[in-house]
A = this chain, B = another copy of it.
Amino acid sequence: MPHIHARANTSARTGRPATGLWLVGARGSVATTAALGLAALAGGHAAPTGCVTARPGLATAPMPDFEDLVIGGHDLSACPLPKRAEALADAGMLPSRLVTLTRDALEAADAEVRPGHDPARPEGSGQATAERLASDIVAFRERHGLDRVVVVDVASTEPLPDPLPEHDDVSLLTAALADPDRAPLPPSSLYAYAAILAGAPYAAFTPSACIALPALAQLATERGIPFAGQDGKTGQTWLRTVLAPAMAARNLRVLSWSGTNLLGGGDGATLADPDAVGSKLSSKSRGLRAVTGAGTTPLHIDYVPDLGDVKVAWDHVHVEGFLGSRLTLQTTWSAYDSMLAAPLVLDLARLLALAHAAGLSGPVPELGFFFKDPWGSDVHDAAAQERMLSDWVRRTAARVDAR
């Protein structure tokens, strides 16, 4: 079997060729959990529960192993990963035992975090900024002799940018990026552009603009970069995309699907900002309407700081059955949000490494399983997405093996 690793370099860590995972928002809750979790898996301190790619059937594809992933990233925060991990342990989310066991790995990962781009502190033209960010990624790849680096955006949710003609046209965009007096791209899109410049496969775990602007998507596709998004589907939305198709298969008619989310934590504080909530809610509702056909879908996100990193979601589903009868389903979901997200971030790193090794470029619709707003696909049904994913892994693995 031809090996997935194109180059001969090997990672300092395992002696095998390694893959980079570059996290935008590398010191956030999801990123810290992913970094600690990766160290725990690599160290044999935890099983890969919650990692889709560890499922029998998928696990044998020629993807990098967990212990062959090396973490780095960008962030604005100065709080080092080990300290953030301790705070998350004090809050009851991360097990203290694992924080102790992975301290060295977290320190090593933290040493690979570079200052992010703060829109409040311009760094010259957009092009210059993106080049600076891209050079951080390239240096990381070279420093560690990595086969490739997958960039995953897990930074705070941004407000959606106002539409501009530059977003749809590569040459207009290039011109505006070169102009130090203009800022045609929001930070998340600058990061996506940096990934393109660095030749790095890319995933958007946030609902921010990211690479979803047509000009950027076109550029990425032209330059042989596979990408996937958008907005990690981890809890309430996932549940909805499980339940709604099941109702449809029974020919039951969903009349309304009402929901409330309560969350504290970093993401909760961001989402307390109505602008940011706007992009999140519209991302959640798009999927819900598409998948249920319900006419009424009220949805709220409330910031409840005392819940810490727990997210509680209540759904009330009102359904019409036989002869106009009514039935109701209520669900209450309670989970540490980042604990759901982090393993999927590791999955995306492995799967986009696979896509890249297979020579794919452009959006990968078969990764829609991971996202609320799947790029390149209209399928929201979680079971259908799971089949698409499994089939794709098989096909793509064969393609890599055949190289």
Contact = CB atoms under 8 A, between A and B. Distances in A.
Interface of A: 33, 36-37, 40, 46, 48-52, 54-55, 92-96, 98, 238-239, 242-243, 245-246, 248-253, 255-256, 258, 260, 262, 295-296, 298, 300, 302-307, 312, 314, 316, 318, 320-325, 327-336, 339-340, 342-343, 382-384, 386
Most chain B CB within 10 A, of A37, A55, A251, A330, is at A251
Contacts of A93: 325
A57 to B, nearest CB: 10
A193 to B, nearest CB: 31
A246 B245 CA distance: 12
A33 B329 CA distance: 22
Contact of A323 (B46, B306, B383): B46
Contacts of A245: 383
Contacts of A51: 251, 322
Chain A interface SS verdict (over half) = mixed
Copies of this chain in its oligomeric complex:
4
A54 B253 CA distance: 13
Given A52-B251, A322-B33, A331 B334 contact: no
B296 A50 contact: no
Contact of A52 (B239, B249, B312): B249
6 contacts: A33-B323, A46-B322, A49-B323, A98-B323, A321-B336, A329-B333
Given A302-B258, A330-B331, A249 B324 contact: no
A252 B386 contact: no
Given A249-B382, A333-B329, A340 B316 contact: no
Given A250-B52, A251-B50, A304-B298, A339 B321 contact: yes
A251 B49 contact: yes
A336 B327 CA distance: 7
Contacts of A95: 323-324
Given A49-B251, A50-B322, A327-B339, 6 more contacts: A239-B246, A249-B382, A298-B302, A307-B318, A322-B342, A329-B332
A36 B325 CA distance: 13
Contacts of A322: 33, 37, 46, 49-51, 339-340, 342-343
A320 B49 contact: yes
Given A95-B324, A298-B302, A321-B340, A50 B252 contact: yes
